[in-house]
Every structure is written in C-alpha cells, then in structure tokens.
Structure 1
Amino acid sequence: MYRQTDRRNEATLFNHMQSLRNLSRSPSVLCGDLYGAMGDIIHTLSATLENARIGIWVCDRDDPDLWQCLASTQSNTETFKRKELEDLIKRLDQDFIYAIDNASTLPRNEAKPVHFFTPHICAQLCASIQIDAQTLGIICCEYDDGPHRWALEEIYFTESIANFTSLFLIDYNRRVAEMKLFEAMRNDQLTGLANSSYFIQELKKKIALRPDCPLFLSLLDIRGFRHINDIHGHDVGDETLKNLALHLTRCFPDALIGRTASNEFILARYIENNEDMAKTSDQIIKLLKIDLPVGNDRLLLDVSIGAALYPQHGTRVKSLIRKCDIALFKAKETANASFVTFNEHLGQDYINHIRLKKKLKTALFDHRLINHYQPKVNLQNLEATTGEVLVRWQDQQGQFIPPAHFIPIAERTGMINELGRQVHNNICNDLCLVDAFSQSGHILSVNASVMELRNPNYVAQLLERMSQCHVKPHQLEIEVTESTFLDEDRITLENLKQLKKEGFALALDDFGTGYSSLSYLKQVHFDTIKIDRSFVTNIHQSKQNRDIATSLIKLFHDFDCQVVAEGIEFEAEADILRDLGCDFGQGFLYAAPMGIDEYAQYLDCSPISPKLSLGLFNSTQET
C-alpha cells in the first residue's frame, strides 16, 4: 500500500515537473508575451486543479496602489486597491502560502478571505508572487462547490507555479526597462520621433541602402516658439510640438523624421525624379504657415526651413545636416517665415558670421566698443538740443565694423545685454568729462534692443547706471524699433511703461520699414517718432516719398509726437521737410557721428548752442 502511494506521489511529481518544463518552453514565455504567458500559466495550473477558479493578480507598475488581474479562468474579475489586500499580503510575506479548506468553518477571530471571484468561497488557496522579497502578485485558486482539502502536492505545485511566475515577471520587467531605455536612447520622449543621434544613424542606413538615389534633407524651426510657452504655458507648447510631429508624419509618410532641438525638426526623403522634387518642394512650402489644433483653440505657426540635397551638397551625413543648419540660419534672418536651400555663398557667409561672433566676444571682453554721438537738429532754428548715441567697434587692425554687421549677431547670441551695459557705462564715462551736462537741456537718445527690454530688471539697472554719472531720466530718450512689438511681450510693454513713468522720453525708430502697425502707438505713448531714411532720400525729387512723408508727419503730430527725419544729406531735402512741418533732422548734412570731444565742440559752435561747457572738457582745461 505504501509502495502504491509512493508510486502515485512519484507520478504526480513527475507530471508536475513535466508541466513546468513544458510551461518554460511555451512560445509566449520564451518571447516575453506577458498576457500570453499568464494565460499559459493559468492553463497549466487548471490541468492539475480541475474545476477550480484560478486567477493571477499583480501590482500595477505605474500605480502601486492598484492590483489588476492579468489572467483568469473566469470572464469577470475584480480590480483591487492595496488596502483591500493588506492583511493577505502580510500573511503571504511571512508564509508564502495561505490555504482555506472550508471557509464556513473559519474561527470568528480569523480574518475573512478576500473575494477574488464571485459568488461565495468554499475553499481558497493563495500563493505569493515575490519580486525583490516583496509580495507583488498573488495566484488565487478557489472552489465554490464545497469544501476542498488541499493536498500537499497541490500546494507545492501552486507554490512552484508562483515561483515560476515570479521569475517570469522579473525577466519581463527587466525587458520592459531595457526597452524603455532603448526607446529613450533613440526616440524623442515628447513626440515619439527619432532623436538626433538615432536620426543620424538611420539616415546613414538610408544613404547606404540607396547610395545613387538623391535625398532631400531639411531642418524646420518654429518661429517665436518661446512666446507660445510664455503666453499659453508649457502644456500648450508641448501639445503644439506633438501636433506638429503628427502633422509632419501625415504629410510625409515615407520620410524619416526626427526632433533635434526644442522647437526644431529634421526630415529626410528620397527624391526619385524631378516630379518628386517639385512635389516635395511644394509640400515644404506649405509648411511655412501651419494652422494646428491645440486643445480647443488653433495656432497659426510660422516656420523657417533650411534644406540641402544629397549628394549635390555633400555625401557625409553630419556635413549635410550642418549645411541644412546654415540654410536655416539664413532663413531665420528674414522677418517672415521662409524656405532657403543651401548654396556655397551661404556657407561663406556663415563662416564670416562665426568669425565675427568670436571677434565680437573678444571685443566685449576687452571693452573695445566706443560711443559716437550724432546731433539731431531743429529744422526751424538749427539748434542741436538732442543727439543720438551710436555704438562703434574698431577691430585690432584699426578697421571699423559696421553696426549692421555686429548688432544682429549680438542680438542672436545674447551678447546684446553686455553690449548695452558697455554703451551705458561709456555714456557715464563720456559725460563725466563734460562740464555742466546735468544742468544743460541737452537730451541724448539711446537705443534699446528687444532682448534688453525683455529683461525684467532693465529699468532698475539703467537708473542705477545713470545715477552714477548724475544724468537725470529726462535727459535720456530710449529709442526702440518696430520689431520690439512683433511678439507682444508682456515684460517689454511693462518696461516701456515703467521707463515713461520714471521720466525717460521714448522714441520709435525706423517707422515704416517693418511691423508698421498703429496699435502699439495706443499701448505706449512715444515722445518722438523717426521717419526712416528710405522715405527721406531724394524727397525733393520723389513725389511718392514726399506724399508718404506728408501723411506720416501729420499722423504723428495727431498722436502728439515730435517727428525726426533720418538720413538728410542735402539742403533741398531739409527745405522740403521743414515746409512739411517736420520737427528735427538727422544726417550727414549736419554732422557725421563723432567722438565725445568733437561732439561737445560741435554743440559749442552750433547755432543757439546749449553751451554744455565753456571749456568743453575738464581734461582740455588742464592741458
């Protein structure tokens, strides 16, 4: 009898071992298919525990408070909160197995079993699925048709299945973590597009796969993206990027697309023939202005695009991307969205830009920038009561670099703030040499860049510098361009209003060359508006310029602003402007920009001069 029992036990053990061996060879287990493997585990256990209700519950990786059923013999299963399973988890942490032969005979002081299934429980066997020495899963086996005395073989086999499940889940979690790491290494987390390194890797494969097929490569940059974040918030900014990524994948389903920077995307596409090139160009041009849904609203995006062609512009991937970047750099220089394809002239311009940027950085470090001053003359009495401060840069070879070359570089690179500080310090140093400037009525106009006005501390810093050289706010006029109002930046408007409140005069420069909207004249009251030189040149010969100037002067006077005409070079131009009622003139007819000593001499000799000082300079008097 004992031998028969031993043989039955041996047969049962052999069957259980064979079941585990077969389970370990299951395709779902080998491939790491979570739900397929859990189904195979349930099927293996069901073959031993016939007619039992069996299910597997595990702790959710993203929400540890939630326990979900991964597989079950029943169609309707419950999801549990951890607190509902707390007592059972504590017991399983200690004993690994919890078995009830007859639920109706449990002592009153015994905790009630968890109802994993419905209806009622007659017998229940729970095994712990342990990961990192914690119960993070439970296998539950139940009978609802009467008591069931759990045999040792059933308990051992269920425990073995739980251990197998633990090993599978540990391996599965490792695979998931590796996959997430792999995805993070190659894909952009926000948009799901290829990141920069993965894009380069895939682009190399595309070229190697078809080395003789031309390929179109382009970089796309969202203009003013920072202001989407500032005005609408970063959530809207993120949604905009995701929607643009989706838009690109729909427009170019056969292209390789990636995201290389915060608001920059890259696209590569085979060009089979001339017709394909024309089609691609048309699709790219349509991307210059994109109307995208964002939440319950829509945003109209302006996009700058730089492009290059393989193999026409190069065969090395990084070289092609760099040439796209150069073309994009040129596209971003324009006032509006634009599409630029690389050419050799752009390459040389970019090299010159890089060299000039390095030289400017050195010049700022060495304080090589100086101030020049140009008078603005009252056209009625030729009195020079105001002037403009103009920054000049003389390089180490003695050559003057035009402001039109280095000011845009300073603005794009952020060096404009340091440049502005040095201009203000130079004003203080220069005016300290001029006797009685603070007692004179002379006003100096100082340019303020868009970047400076976006600094919340701009006004306070300017007041501090001017107080050091005893210059009152009413003796300075802050001059801004129309581009200041393009982005409708809140801090910029607050700074302009604060400048006005502190007593600084405000001037609007180059009216008519850019934004040219009258809306900002309502937001900020300007004391002076300057007519651009393009409307002044040959005004005595051009009826069109004369008509434009007539309208502008009348309009600005209606806004209670004084009018300055720039670029006057001939008496005939000055005479026309005087007759039209223009208040001030500025240009080579009166004086070119000059150093502070020549400027003070000019003011001393000008008609109805403000006479800054009898001796002009303390230093001159000493010599």
Structure 2
Amino acid sequence: MTTIMSKIKESMMTLRAKINLYFSLLFILVALIIFLVNGMTNYLFGSIFLLVIGLIQTRVFLQCDVLSRITQLDRTIQQIKTTKDLSIRADVKQNDEISSLTSDFNLLIGTLEQLHEEKTQVAHFDSITHLPNRKKFYQDLEQQIQEVSISSECVGVALMDLDRFKVINETLGPAMGDQLLEQVARRLDLLLEDYGIPLYRIGGDEFIFILSKRTEKEMVEVLDQILEAFQQHFLIQGQPYSITTSIGVSIYPRDGNRIQDILKNADLAMYQVKGHGKKGYLFYTEDLQRTQNRKFQLEQELAKALEQGEFHIVYQPKVNARTETVIGMEALLRWKHNQLGYISPAEFIPIAEEIGLIVEMGKWVLRKACEQNQAWIRQGLPPLVVSVNLSTAQFHETDFVDQVVHILQNTGMNPEYLELEITESLAMRDIKQCIQILEDLKKLGIHISMDDFGTGYSSLRYLQQLPIDTLKIDKSFIDAIGTEDKKELIVTTIIAMANILKIKVIAEGVEERHQVTELLNLQCEQMQGYYFSKPLSPGDFQLFRHNRNNNLHLREYTENIV
C-alpha cells in the first residue's frame, strides 16, 4: 500500500512538473499569437485539446473525479472552439492542480477575448470619428442586400463628400481638419440615429450610409435633413466654419446587382453634384452613365486635339455702343472634332482643367491670338486690343510672366495691345500673389480686366488693391435688366463704383435692345454680346470691323437713350 501511494505521489509530482512545462510553452505560444496578430486561435485551442488528451491518457488521472473534471474542461474547450465565443469560462471548483490548470486556462481565454475585441475595434472602426469604417460597411451592406434579395424591397447607398474640405484642411492644418471631421460625424450620426441608419466613414472626407427598405421619397426626406444639418456652422476652437456636402445615391437592385457597381454609381452621382455647384444630392440614372462615357471619350480625344489641329480661335467684337465702333475683341477657343463636330467650351474646358491640359491650351490660345492681332497690325489696320482669358492653373505657373514675355517677343506684338482676363475666384485664391503678378504684367504695358464680376467673392474691398483696368459685368446681371430689380441695382452699383475708381466697365452677354438702352443710360458704353455680333472667324471679324467703322451702323436702338 505504501509503495502504491509513493508511486501516486511521484506521478502527481511529475504531473505538476508537466503542467508547469506545458503552461510555460502555452504562454510562449500566446505571446507569439499576440505578436503575429493573426487568426491562429483555432490552432491554440487545438494545442490545448491535445495537451488535455495527453494528460487524460496519463495513468495519474485514473481517479474518476480527476477524469470528470478534465473531461468538463475539454467540453468547455470544444464549446469555445465550435461557437467562437471567447466569453465562455470553465468552472473552478477546488483548490488543486486541476483547478489551477482551469484557472490558468480561463485567464488565457480572457486575454484572447480582450485581444480579439481590440482587433475588432481596429479592424471595423475609424480612429478619428469612431464610426464604423469601410470594412464594416461592406459587411453590413452585403447583409442588407441578402435580406432584401428575397423581397421586392430595395437598398439605397448614399455616398457623401465634404465640399472644399481639402482647402480647409490645408489652410487650417490636419489637426483642425480632424476636429471638423469629428464634429461632422457627431452631428450626422445623431441625426441618422433617429432614422435607425448607421453612418460610416470610409476614408478622407467621405462618409456613407445605407438607406435600407425605404422608398425613394423616404430617402429624399433623409437627404433633405442631411443638407439642412450643414446649414449650421461647425465650431472649431471657438471659431465658426461653414462647409457643405455633395451626396450621390445609388439603389440596389435598380442601379446594379453587385456592391462595386452600386458604389461606382453612387460615386458618379456625387461627382455630378460637385460638377454642378456642389451642395446637394443626386440619384444615379442611366443618363449619368452616358454622360460619364462621353466625358471619358472627350478626355481621350482632347489629348490629341492640339496635335491634330482641331482647335481654332474665334473673335467676338467689343463695341462702343454710343459710337457703334469696334474697340477691341476677345479671343475664344473652339474645338471642332473630326467625327463629333463642334464641342462646347462649357463641356471641354472643365475636362481640360481636370486632366491637366488647360495650361498647354492656354499658352496656345495666347500665342495664336497675339500672332493674329500682329498680322492685322502689319496689314496696316488700326491696332486693337485683343483679350485672352486665363485659367487659374496657367496664371499660377511659377514662370507665367516669363511665358507672356516670351510669346510677345516671338510674335512681335506690342504689350499695349494685349489684355489678360482673370476671374474673381482666381484673384481671391491668393490675393497677395495675384497683386504681385498683375503688377509685373502692368509694368510691361499689358491691360488687365476682371471677368464675370459680381458672381464670385465679395471682392469690392479688394478692388482698390488690384491693378486692373476694366470690369466685365457678368451676363447673368445683364439678363436681369428690366426683369429683376435687385440684380439691376447691382449693375448700377458696379458701374457707379467703377466710375469713382476710374476703372472702365464693359457689359458682356448683351442680347436685347432694351439692355443697350439701359446700359447707356447708366453711362456704360462698352458692350459685348450677340446683339452686336457672335464670335467670328478672323476673316469675318475683319469684315465686321470694316463695316462698323465705316458708318454701316444700326442706330435705331439709340432713340430712347438719354
């Protein structure tokens, strides 16, 4: 009996040593798992299972109680392995080696549960806004699509982007940009929570939400609330900032059967909103896809247009409406494609800006306009000033002034016969740099005009600082003469202000006789528009100029001029 007890004691001591050894190896394995952060949980459980089976096979565990408790621990392991539920724990009933083993096992599972929760948080949630991220969105959208696939219901996906966030982020810094993202997320999340709609941040300044099992009318109600939420300022470090959003919506299964198609179409709709003034939402339609296809085609063809000689310049006369004489012309770019025919500048100019061709095209227009004007001067015609529009990208080229000088030297044209037109938005982008560039151009003798005045920034307070010679009143204000009192008052104010500042004024887009009459009554004599002439080829412009300046005038519209 004594011998048997000694052997049992010896076996128990061996068991204790083995258990200590196994757990030392086990915790080394856990450390490796945490270090590698991978999906080796099943492998870990399998190792524990093999360990327990080995222990069961040991003769030391001949006692029924020990076998029962080890079997119970094995069941717990199998349950966790099957259910993947790391919250399950094994029962600890006594204070012995088996209980110690069980306690250590529970500690191990607790550590793995914490690690799993941390990995899930990192994998599925955004660190800045704490919203679910792109990966979680894909999972949830796939689940929503599966749920409605067996019914006639639909799932809408609304992709939203913050307008001009890049400018705000670059101006105020990334830290302030992150604060703005946090506030936007908080405001939208609270709003959508009332509708039971989760909000996700999928990257940068893009957010997305799922409009599941809703009619289009119900979706519109939510979208209107989103836009209204952006009417209020966002406070960052006590300062109010305004920002708007553009939203594109695509609906499953109407707009696509695959998740990637739904997202692509929502993105296309969103960028259509951005391209048409931002601050709104748009549902995807097949027409948008056709527009996108044409845009892609024009992108490809535009790159070859210069080389293939498809561009040409037309000239729209500027006239003194009181004397009915031609006082100048504006050079305008036109594109006649070999197969597609004439393509509107309103269509191809934004594409050229987007794909980076606008600078090269701008140089070409400037050179051709100077060459043509100089050719007319060499023919002995009285010199006229030719106006050329500048894009923002061209104006902010580091060597822009040198480019202009080089073109003038190569064409031989006197700088006083060149006028460069800038826009309000171009000027306000960097007012100090703009003033410096304009002053350098003015020193050369070049004239400067501001195009589309009144449509952009409230730049009246900067007007005295900018070295400009002429203001061009935008066509939208000219169209309002006689129909909209407020806009007509703006025209009156611009003309009066310009006269005080000794700046010339020209009205563009003049198309009606009553507009000419009213503008002359307001002491605005220089005009441009279809009432006088459409843009003309060089030959037609020369003929128009000859006729106008040789008293072949239309004077009947002056009868009511004060």
Task: Please report the TM-score for the alignment, with normalisation by the length of structure 2.
Answer: 0.69
Q: Which residue of structure 2 aligns with residue 134 of structure 1?
A: none
Pairing partner for 2:337 from 390, 395, 418: 395
The letter for the 1-side match of 2:506 is V
Aligned residue for 1:266? 208
Cα distance change, pair 33–330 in 1 and its aligned pair in 2 (3 A): closer
Amino acid at match of 2:420: I
Alignment map for 1:539-554 (pairs within 5 Å): 549-554=491-496
Q: 2:263 aligns with which of 318, 321, 327?
A: 321
In 1: Cα distance, 2:531 partner to 2:548 partner: 13
1:538 CA displacement: 9.1
Q: Which structure: greater strand fraction?
A: 1
**Which whole-Å CA distance do the structure 2 matches of 1:400 and 1:431 have between them?**
24
- Structure 1 residue 496: deviation in Å? 4.1
Report the Cα offset of residue 442 of structure 1.
2.2
Shift in Å at residue 542 of structure 1?
8.7
| One-letter amino acid of the counterpart of residue 255, structure 2 | H
Shift of 1:195: 5.7
> Identity, % of aligned pairs?
27
Counterpart of 2:181 (choices 230, 235, 241) is: 241
The aligned counterpart of 1:206 is: 144
User: Could you tell me whether the CA contact under 8 Å between 2:158 and 2:211 is conserved in 1?
Assistant: no
Distance 1:17 1:451 in 2: 75
- Deviation of the 1:554 alpha carbon: 1.9
Give 1:104-143 correspondences, 5 Å limit: none
Letter in 1 for 2:450: L
Matched to 1:420, the amino acid is: G
Residue 366 of structure 1 aligns to a residue in which SS? coil
Counterpart in the other structure of 2:17: 16
For 1:226, give the aligned amino acid: K
1:305 to 219, 235, 247: 247
Supply the AA of the counterpart residue of 2:411. Answer: C
> Paired residue for 2:164, among 218, 221, 224?
224
Aligned to 2:422: 480
Matched AA of 1:215: V
How far 1:340 sits from its partner (Å)?
2.1
Q: Which has the larger radius of gyration?
A: 1
How do 1:141-220 residues align onto structure 2 when only pairs under 5 Å count? Answer: 199-211=137-149, 212=151, 213-220=153-160
Give the Cα separation in 2 of the matches to 1:278 and 1:226: 27
Match of 1:343 in 2: 285
Distance in 2 separating the partners of 1:272 and 1:371: 52
Report the secondary structure of 1:240's partner residue. helix
1:551-581: per-residue Cα shift (whole Å, max 9, x none)?
A: 4322321232111122334666444433431
Q: For 1:541 and 1:189, how far apart are their aligned partners in 2?
A: 54
State the Cα distance separating 1:495 from its structure 2 match.
Answer: 3.8
- Aligned with 1:280 (options 201, 215, 222): 222
Secondary structure at the aligned position of 2:279 is classed as coil
Deviation of the 1:391 alpha carbon? 0.7
**Any idea what the Cα deviations from partners look like across 1:454-484, whole Å, max 9, x if unmatched?**
4444333333333322334432222123343
Task: Report if aligned partners of 2:369, 2:386 keep a CA contact under 8 Å in 1.
Answer: no
Superposition deviation, residue 429 in structure 1: 4.0
Whether the 8 Å contact between 1:477 and 1:505 is mirrored in structure 2 is: yes
Residue equivalent to 1:65 = none
Gaps of 5+ in 2: 1-7, 36-107, 552-562
- Retained in 1: the 8 A contact 2:369–2:388? no
Structure 1 pair 535/279, CA: closer, same or farther in 2 (3 Å)?
A: closer
Q: Which has the higher helix share?
A: 2
Residue among 361, 368, 377 paired with 1:426:
368
- Shift, 1:380, TM fit: 3.6
> What's the TM-score, normalizing by structure 1?
0.63
Partner in structure 2 of residue 165 of structure 1? none
How far apart are residue 229 of structure 1 and its match? 3.1
Partners of 2:435 and 2:467 within 8 A in 1: no
- CA distance in 1 between counterparts of 2:442 and 2:290 reads 44
Match of 2:99 in 1: none
Identify if the C-alpha distance between structure 1 residues 218 and 273 changes in structure 2 by more than 3 Å, giving closer, same or farther.
closer
- Deviation string, structure 1 residues 331-370 (Cα, Å, up to 9, x no partner): 1133351222233444443333333333333324534211
> Are the structure 2 counterparts of residues 255 and 538 from structure 1 closer, same or farther at C-alpha, using a change threshold of 3 Å?
closer
Q: Which SS does the other structure have where 1:384 is aligned?
A: strand
Q: Distance in 2 between matches of 1:406 and 1:371?
A: 15
Pairs within 5 Å for 1:482-561: 482-484=424-426, 491-492=433-434, 494-515=436-457, 517-536=459-478, 549-561=491-503
CA apart distance, 1:8: 11
Deviation at 1:228, TM superposition (A): 1.3
Deviates more, 1:599-608 or 1:326-335: 599-608
* Partner Cα distance (2:384, 2:167) in 1: 38
Task: Give the drift of 1:448.
Answer: 1.4
- The question of whether the paired residues in 1 share the 8 Å contact of 2:511 and 2:530 is answered with yes
Q: CA 1:290/1:13 → structure 2, altered by over 3 Å: closer, same or farther? A: farther
Instruction: Give the length in aligned residue pairs.
Output: 467
Alpha-carbon contact 2:223-2:281 (below 8 Å) kept: no
Give the whole-Å Cα distance in 2 for the aligned partners of 1:424 and 1:405. 20
3-state DSSP of counterpart to 1:391 = strand
For 1:496 and 1:176, how far apart are their aligned partners in 2? 62
- Mark the CA change 1:369 to 1:190 in structure 2 (over 3 Å): closer, same or farther: farther
> Contact 2:199–2:208 at 8 Å: present in 1 too?
yes
Q: Give the conservation status (yes or no) of the 8 Å contact 2:358–2:394.
A: yes
Unaligned runs of 5+ in 1: 1-6, 35-167, 610-623
CA RMSD of aligned residues (A): 4.4
CA contact (8 A) 2:373 2:386 kept: no
- 1:424–1:543 distance in 2 versus 1, CA, 3 Å: same
Q: Is the 8 A contact 1:376 1:384 kept in 2?
A: yes
Shift of 1:599: 3.2
- Once residues 216 and 316 of structure 2 are traced to their aligned partners in structure 1, the CA distance between those partners, rounded to angstroms, is 55
- Counterpart Cα distance in 1 of 2:16 and 2:374: 102
Deviation at 1:373, TM superposition (A): 1.2
Name the SS of the counterpart of 2:420 in structure 1.
Answer: strand
Matched residue of 1:588: which SS?
coil
